Amino acid sequence: MAPTLTIFCLIFLLSTTIYLHPVLAWRPTLLETDKLFCIKYRVHVMNGLSSNENPLYIHCQSRDDDLGDHTLNVGGDFNFKFRIKLIGPNTWFSCDMVWGSKHQHVDVFRQKVEGPMCCADGNSCYWRAQDDGIYFSTNNVEWIRRYEWF
């Protein structure tokens, strides 16, 4: 019985090695790495509200960095760029948004959620506050409402 198990294990290891060899031998260049794995990102938080009667106040932060308070008038764009963490907890950024008496906490970048979506379309994530909620886009053209105001 033992020789049969040993032979099976050897055949399995040999076939796995042959199958994975091209994958293990492939070493991407730095440019390919940025395109395939999207190490660098940019997040935009924009004011798409209908008037400046109440500006948009935002406070953005990650687990490691506080990006501070910002006031955006209509058409304003606060944006920041960063590299994802390859070791340790996944990269995560959030922004608290206040518009008059309305507010919302928005996860503007989660490595495993927005990361793959934004990677596929230029490495940028876009968030736009509008009168009826907070919208998300990967290309600054097509928008989907992801949050409502409280």
Give the residue with greater pLDDT, 29 vs 104.
Answer: 104
Structure tokens at 35: 């395109």
Separation between Cα atoms, residue 132 and residue 6, nearest integer Å: 65
pLDDT at 35 over 70: no
Average pLDDT over residues 16-41: 51
Structure tokens at 70: 């910002």
Domain positions in the chain: 28-148
Asked if residue 97 lies in contact with residue 56, where contact means CB atoms within 8 angstroms, the answer is yes
Give the residue with greater pLDDT, 10 vs 16.
Answer: 10
Query: Mapping DSSP to helix (H, G, I), strand (E, B) and coil, where does residue 72 land?
Result: strand
A 10 A CB-CB count for 93 gives 24
Round the average pLDDT of the chain to a whole number and report it: 85
The domain 28-148 belongs to what CATH superfamily? Immunoglobulins (2.60.40.10)
Separation between Cα atoms, residue 117 and residue 132, nearest integer Å: 23
Average pLDDT over residues 112-136: 94
Q: Give the pLDDT band (50/70/90) at residue 28.
A: very low
Asked if residue 41 lies in contact with residue 81, where contact means CB atoms within 8 angstroms, the answer is yes
pLDDT at 41 over 50: yes
The angle formed by the CA atoms of residues 49, 125 and 74, to the nearest 5 degrees, is 20
Instruction: Give this prediction's pTM.
Output: 0.75
